[in-house]
Amino acid sequence: MAKKTFNIVTLPGDGIGPDIVKQAVKVINRIGEIYGYDFKITEKRMGGIAIDMDGCSLPQDTIDAALASDAVLLGAVGGPKWDNLPNGDRPEKGLLGIRGALKLYANLRPAVLYPQLQHTSPLKAEIIGDGLDILVVRELTGGMYFGEKANSPKFNPENKDCWASDLEKYSVFEIERILKTGFEAAQKRNHKLCCVHKANVLESSRLWRAVFDRVKKNYPDVETSEMYVDNCAMQLVRNPRQFDVIVTSNIFGDILTDEASQVAGSIGMLASASLGAGTLGLYEPIHGSAPDIAGKNLANPLATILSVPMMFRYSLGLMKEADAIDKAVMDVLNAGYRTGDIFNKDLDDASKKVGTEEMGDLVVKALK
Q: Which residues of 15-29 are buried (b: 16+ CB within 10 A; e: fewer)?
A: bbbbbbbbbbbbbbe
Q: What is the DSSP letter of 2?
A: P
Element (H, E) at 6: strand 4-13
Helix (H) or strand (E) holding 28: helix 17-35
Q: Helix 356-366 to helix 17-35 angle, to the nearest 10 degrees? A: 10
CA 71 – CA 28 distance, rounded (Å): 12
254 in active site: yes
Q: Is residue 258 among the annotated active site residues?
A: yes
The catalytic residue among 54, 89, 133, 258 is 258
| Spatial distance between the Cα atoms of 193 and 246, rounded to a whole number of angstroms | 6
* Catalytic residue (one of 89, 133, 166, 254): 254
Find the catalytic residue in 52, 64, 230, 323: 230
DSSP classification of residue 349: -
How far is the C-alpha of 82 from the C-alpha of 74, rounded, in Å? 19
What does DSSP assign to residue 195? E
Check 26, 198, 216, 283 and give the catalytic one: 198
Task: Answer yes or no: 346 catalytic.
Answer: no
Please list the active-site residues: 145, 198, 230, 254, 258
